Amino acid sequence: MQLVRGLQNLRSQHRGCVATIGNFDGVHRGHQAILKRLRERALELGVPSCVVIFEPQPREFFAPQTAPARLSRLRDKLEWLAAAGVDRVLCLAFNRRLRELSAAEFVQKVLVDGLGVRHLEVGDDFRFGCDRAGDFAFLSEAAQREGFTVEAARTVEIDGVRVSSTRVRQALASGDFAHAEQLLGRPFQISGRVLHGQKLGRQLDAPTANIQLKRCRVPLSGVYTVSIELQGRAWPGVANIGVRPSVAGDGSAHLEVHLLDFSGDLYGRRLTVVFHHKLRDEQRFASLDALRSAISADIVAAREYWAGVTFHHESGLK
Ligand SMILES: Cc1cc2nc3c(=O)[nH]c(=O)nc-3n(C[C@H](O)[C@H](O)[C@H](O)COP(=O)(O)O)c2cc1C
Ligand SMILES: Nc1ncnc2c1ncn2[C@@H]1O[C@H](COP(=O)(O)OP(=O)(O)OP(=O)(O)O)[C@@H](O)[C@H]1O
């Protein structure tokens, strides 16, 4: 899959494709249905498929403090789009210039001049352009004028309710990982590189790998039973996501995982944390001793959760 960053990097060979536009946060089952249809149309027309996404996402541009937490960072999103068979992603910086484009200008600049779109696939509620004025009726008219086709994919529902990123966030916030998995079509996970922490974990009898969250806000907080994927192997573990109120911190959210029965150096490695079960909320403890006891109880609970499950790994890393 090819990534093109910005309209200025589109070349004449990129013209002629089938396209869809959106945030695709989490690449959930609703998104996957659109992507499947997109791939079918690409094969029928013999042209590549292209997904137009925005970074930051529009709501992060308009209201960075109150925008919903991200289900996926750009890297994960790209991985899942590639897995869905997308040939090309056009990633547009959502900035003042882009927000001021009218729906008609967006169609002309991005879809017609930029991509030479042959077919556009969208969800039935899709809206775009300044003040979200571009809806399906608008697109159909533009399509007729410019000589491309447009189709509204059927809404994907589970239990009679539309699958949406908001619904996934709600499932995660309430610790309902089975429902989140149903909506996403895969378990909820966060990937990232292991950074150096404050090295307090060892004093707490629980060395932890600190996963870089960059500036992304995360849709969950608390202590969880997790599994960790690392170099194609899975490990059982326990994780904390939060601001760590018991130790002096910078107020930003951290994701830390303690791998059960693991010895080895994880610094700099990229790992994936898969969430299975919420154990408790994060708490402020009055002393490190109290925090140490709570963490050791979490580890016992995680062991119980994983009792009977075999993880195929050796006790360290090469
Ligand atoms: C299973 C687990 C549960 C945790 N629970 C809490 C908690 O409830 N409150 C808190 O302030 N920190 C909690 N922490 C975070 C610890 O404060 C943190 O691991 C410690 O500060 C070590 O940080 P470091 O790796 O940066 O040295 C938890 C960590 C783990 C691994
Ligand atoms: N459940 C669904 N069924 C069908 N299409 C969907 C569904 N959810 C989103 N889409 C479509 O996927 C495309 C990209 O979605 P995007 O993430 O921008 O929209 P969205 O409606 O804001 O998603 P969400 O509500 O999940 O955040 C859009 O065309 C949108 O209409």
Per-residue pLDDT tens for 150-174?
Answer: 999 999 999 999 999 999 999 999 9
Q: What percent of the chain has pLDDT over 90?
A: 75
Give the ligand whose atoms come closest to the C-alpha of residue 165.
2
Give yes or no: residues 128 and 247 share one domain: no
Report the nearest atom of ligand 2 relative to the CA of 156.
3
Domain CATH for 248: 2.40.30.30
Report the nearest atom of ligand 1 relative to the CA of 207.
25
Domain range holding 230?
188-306
Give the ligand whose atoms come closest to the C-alpha of residue 154.
2
Pair 195, 265: CB distance under 8 Å: no
pLDDT at position 286 is: 95
Domain count, the chain: 2
pLDDT at position 197 is: 76
Pair 135, 120: CB distance under 8 Å: no
Give yes or no: residues 114 and 252 share one domain: no
Pair 87, 50: CB distance under 8 Å: yes
pLDDT at position 271 is: 95
Give yes or no: residues 148 and 69 share one domain: yes
pTM of the predicted model as reported, rounded to 2 decimal places: 0.92
Which residue puts its alpha carbon closest to atom 22 of ligand 2?
23
Give the pLDDT mean for 84-90. Answer: 98
Query: Does any domain span residue 174?
Result: no
What does the DSSP 8-state code read for residue 209?
Answer: E
Domain CATH for 117: 3.40.50.620
Give the pLDDT mean for 62-91. Answer: 95
Give yes or no: residues 204 and 155 share one domain: no
Give yes or no: residues 202 and 241 share one domain: yes
pLDDT at position 318 is: 54
Helix (H, G, I), strand (E, B) or coil at 113: helix
Give the pLDDT mean for 301-313. Answer: 89
CA atoms within 13 A on the CB side of 114: 23
Per-residue pLDDT tens for 232-274?
Answer: 899 999 999 999 989 877 778 899 999 998 888 899 999 999 9
Whole-number Å distance between alpha carbons of 156 and 153: 9
Pair 192, 213: CB distance under 8 Å: yes
Give yes or no: residues 124 and 30 share one domain: yes
What is the pLDDT of the chain when averaged over all its residues?
A: 92
Q: What percent of the chain has pLDDT over 70?
A: 98
Give the pLDDT mean for 1-18. Answer: 95
**Widest Cα–Cα separation across the chain:** 71
In angstroms, what is the span from residue 111 Cα to ligand 1's centroid?
48
Per-residue pLDDT tens for 175-229?
Answer: 999 999 999 999 999 999 999 877 777 777 889 999 988 777 889 999 999 999 9
Query: Does any domain span residue 301?
Result: yes
Which residue puts its alpha carbon closest to atom 2 of ligand 2?
30
